[in-house]
Structure formats: C-alpha cells, structure tokens
Structure 1
Amino acid sequence: MTRKKPAAEPRPYHHGDLRAALLAAAEAELVERGIEAFSLRSVAKRANVSHAAPAHHFGDTNGLLTALAAEGYRRFVAHQAAWEDRGGTDPAARLIESGLGYIDFAQRHPALFRLMFGSDRPDYTTPELDKAAYAAYQQIEAANAAVAAAKGREADSTDVEATWAIVHGLADLSSNQRLYRLGTLPAKQRDAILRSIIARNIPG
C-alpha cells in the first residue's frame, strides 16, 4: 500500500512580499484588461493568492488602485531623476532630460500613466498617494528653480506650469500613440526632436 503524499503547502508570503506581489499583479491586470474590467478577484487569481488577500491589504478595488498609483509615482520620480542626470551639470540640459524621462515613462507604462493622471479611481486624499504625487511636482519645481537661478532670477509657478504642460502634453499624446509623425521615427531622431520642443519652451 502506497502512502499518499501530503498536499503541497501554499507558498508562504511575508507581508512585504505579498504587497509587492499584489501590486505587480495589479499592474499586469491593468495593462491586460484595463481599468473597466479591473477587480480584486482577478488580481488575486493572477497573484496566486486567496481572494481575500487583496482586500485584507488594500480594503477594496479603489484602495488597490490608489496604492498602485502611489507606487507608479515613486517609479516615475526615480525614472525622471535617472534621465535628469544625463544632462550633466547644466540646469537647462537637466530640465530637458527630465522632461524626456517624463515622456519615456509614459511610453513604457501607458496604462499606469493613465491611472496616475487620467483616472478618478485613485484616492488622492490618502497620505501615501498625496506624498508620492507631490514629489513628482516637486521634481519639476526643483528643475525649473535651478534653471531660473542660473539665469539670475527666481522661478515662479508659471515656469513650472509651462514646463509641466509641455512635457505632459507630449507624454500623453505619445502614450496614446497620437504623435503620428514622431512615432514613425527612429528613437534617437525622435528624442532629438522632443528635446528641441522642450528646449524652446523653457521659460526665459
């Protein structure tokens, strides 16, 4: 008589591991199915955890989307900072590269970008998302302040808004594949044109 093997135990998750796994599954679900079909049940299935796990960590669907948007903003800021460093020490060059990083993030993560900037599902009154989103604004603010200081003046809110309007407009069009002519160009040529557009609109 052969003995039955004991059933395999579910993979144990540490708290931080489960949260990260659920956020990764949520982003994959968002990319594949869109926000309209997004649900906690489908995220749990994708993450191979119990149906109750997402609700336990995030409360409800909007809670999970709020946490995902906050994580998106943190990655967004880090992505821009990495691009900004390509500009060396010149403030204007750093601002241009930061703007290009903004656009590049939108191109790489269009579904996440739309969640962050085009959806009313995330709750911006939560401290986590409020802090993460404000950090993204502060990054643009700091880059503009450095350009203004190099020109012997102080930056004002219109500097930030002008830069933000240009790079966000380009990012939004690009992520939705609406920059028809630029979308057909090789990446190096496309980025050169985007740099020139951003440069022309840096406040004097």
Structure 2
Amino acid sequence: MNSEAKPKKPHHHGDLRRALITSSMTLLAKGGSAALTLRRAAAAAGVSHAAPTHHFGNLDGLRSAVATEGFLLFCDAMERHVQAAEPAPRARLRGLCMGYLEFALSHPSLLDLMFREERSFDKDAALLAASTEAYQALARTAAPFVSAAHPARVTEAQIWSFIHGYAVLRTSRRFGQQAEDPSGDAAAILSLLDRLELAPSSQKPDAPL
C-alpha cells in the first residue's frame, strides 16, 4: 500500500491577494479577458481554487481588483512621461499622451478590461480612487488649455477622446502594418493637439471635473 500523501498546493506566504492579482494580469496578457477565471488565477498563483473567492468574492471582484492595479500603472506611465517632458504645457501634454499610448500598447487586454467592460466604480472605493487619480493626471495636464470658451469638461474630453481613440485603434491593428516603434507616427498625429489654444495667462482655468 502506498502511504504517500497526494501533493498539496504550496502554502502561499506573504501577500496572497497581490499574488492573485499578479497571476491574473499574466493570464490577461496572454489570453485576454476570456482567459481570466477564478480557477485559472488560483492555479497560476499556486494556491487553492477557493483562495480567489475568499479575497475577491467572485470573478467580477477579481476583475475590479485587476482593473484597479491597471489604473495605478496607467497613471504612473502618464506621470513618468509628463515629468520627463520639457516644462512647457504643450510638451507636457504630448508627454502625457505618449505615456497613455505606451501603456495601451504594452497592456492592450488590461486597457480593454479597464475601459470596455462594466466595472462597479460606485461600489469599489479602491477602483474609484485609482481611476480618479488617472483622470486627474490628464486634468492637470489639460488645465493650461482650459478657458471660458473651452471649459474643463470640453478640453479634457477632447484630449481624452483623441488619445484613447488612437490608442485603441492602434492596439486593435486597424491601421494595418505598423512600425514596432510608434513614436514617429504618434508624434505626427499628436501634432493635431497643437491646435489647442493656451488660456490667457491672466485667466484662472476652470477647476477640472
């Protein structure tokens, strides 16, 4: 008689919740939204299949946690490019857009999860906070272009629609064969932002939404 016990799932030391989010992001990157399930996330993290339920409740809870992490990474990408840009408002705006595009090209499935699937922003305080932080990065960079003729909500919507639309079209390969390095095309396309007028220096911009 074989007295050997069946191998157990390894006990996870440290931050199990973080490990499950990390494994979920890996699944998402490799197989898209359909690849992300509670059972697969647990298997990828090397823990019991019940572990995700304990931490997130259900699949929507797990996806919201992944989306929250996505918005934090997204905000960091935009801020890094803004800080690396020249201090002029237009250069910082271009930097923000390049950070947006960099994130989209590096994490297309994550971007899809964050923006195209319904998320419970009103029920998840962490998700709401992370998404608001990302939006405020855009609002701060757009602020110098806000004026009485072009209020904050309009200016921010113009910029957001412009860069998000381009990012989604590029990640979905709607432009056919494309260079691996998007900076050349993106710089030319982002030149359309040069049409945005700076607010008069004597005018205090509207507060962002």
How far apart, CA to CA, are the structure 2 residues paired with 1:203 and 1:26? 42
How far apart, CA to CA, are the structure 2 residues paired with 1:67 and 1:173? 26
Q: Is the 8 A contact 2:38 2:52 kept in 1?
A: yes
Q: TM-score, normalised by structure 1?
A: 0.84
| CA displacement 1:23-81 (0-9 Å, x = unmatched) | 11101112223223421011100111111111111111100000000110011001000
| CA displacement 1:93-113 (0-9 Å, x = unmatched) | 101110111111101100000
Q: Which amino acid aligns with 1:168?
A: H
Residue 144 (structure 1) shift = 1.0
- Aligned counterpart, 2:179: 184
How far apart, CA to CA, are the structure 2 residues paired with 1:140 and 1:192? 18
- Aligned counterpart, 1:88: 86
CA RMSD in angstroms comes to 2.5
Q: Which amino acid aligns with 1:198?
A: L
Q: How high is the sequence identity, in percent, across the aligned residues?
A: 31
SS of 1:179's equivalent in the other structure is coil
Residue 11 (structure 1) shift = 4.0
TM superposition outliers: structure 1 runs of 4+ over 6 Å: none
Aligned: 1:31 with 2:22 = no
Aligned: 1:13 with 2:13 = yes
Q: Is the 8 A contact 2:28 2:110 kept in 1?
A: yes
- Aligned counterpart, 1:129: 127
Residue 190 (structure 1) shift = 2.4
Aligned: 1:64 with 2:62 = yes
| CA displacement 1:137-196 (0-9 Å, x = unmatched) | 1111111113448xx998521111111110111111112122336x23744422322332
How far apart, CA to CA, are the structure 1 residues paired with 2:181 and 2:114? 28
Aligned residue runs from structure 1 range 71-150, under 5 A: 71-120=69-118, 122-125=119-122, 126-148=124-146
SS of 1:10's equivalent in the other structure is coil
How far apart, CA to CA, are the structure 1 residues paired with 2:9 and 2:34? 34
- Which one has a larger percent helix, Structure 1 or Structure 2? 1
- Aligned counterpart, 1:167: 163
Q: TM-score, normalised by structure 2?
A: 0.82
Q: How many residues align?
A: 192
- Aligned counterpart, 2:189: 194
Q: Is the 8 A contact 1:99 1:167 kept in 2?
A: yes
